[in-house]
Structure 1
Amino acid sequence: MSAHPVALGGIHHVAYRCKDAAETVEWYERVLGMKYVTAFAEDHVPSTGAYDPYMHVFLDAGKGNVLAFFELPNQPAMGSDPNTPAWVQHLAFKVPSLEALLDAKMHIEAQGVDVLGPTWHGIFQSIYFFDPNGHRIELAADIGTAEQYAELEKVARPMLEEWSQTKKAPRHADWLHAKPE
Structure 2
Amino acid sequence: MISAHPNRNLRIAPARMAHFVIRTNRFEETLRWYERFFLADTVYSKNNLAFLSFDDEHHRIAIGDLNGLGDSVESASAIDHVAFSFDSLHDLMYNYERLRDDGIAPIYAINHGPTTSIYYADPNGCKIELQVDNYPTSAEARDFFFSQAFHDNPIGVFFDPEALLAKFKAGEPVEELLKQGSVPAVKPAL
SS at match of 2:60: strand
Structure 1's unaligned 5+ residue stretches are 42-54, 156-170
Structure 2's unaligned 5+ residue stretches are 1-5, 154-178, 183-190
Identical-pair percentage = 25
Shift of 1:89: 0.5
1:174 aligns with 2:154: no
1:112 aligns with 2:103: yes
In 2, Cα distance between equivalents of 1:8 and 1:136 = 23
Q: Greater strand percent: which structure? A: 1
Alignment match of 1:75 (pick from 68, 71, 84): 68
Compared CA separation, residues 100 and 70, structure 1 to 2 (3 A): same
Alignment match of 1:66 (pick from 52, 60, 72): 60
Normalising by structure 1, what TM-score? 0.64
What is residue 116 of structure 2 aligned with on the other side? 125
Q: How many residues align?
A: 148
The answer to whether the Cα contact below 8 Å between 1:56 and 1:70 also exists between their aligned partners in 2 is yes
Normalising by structure 2, what TM-score? 0.62
Compared CA separation, residues 20 and 117, structure 1 to 2 (3 A): closer
In 2, Cα distance between equivalents of 1:145 and 1:7 = 22
1:37 aligns with 2:43: yes
Taking only aligned residues, the RMSD between alpha carbons, in angstroms, comes to 3.3
SS at match of 1:93: strand
SS at match of 1:28: helix
The answer to whether the Cα contact below 8 Å between 2:25 and 2:69 also exists between their aligned partners in 1 is no
Shift of 1:143: 2.3
What is residue 47 of structure 1 aligned with on the other side? none
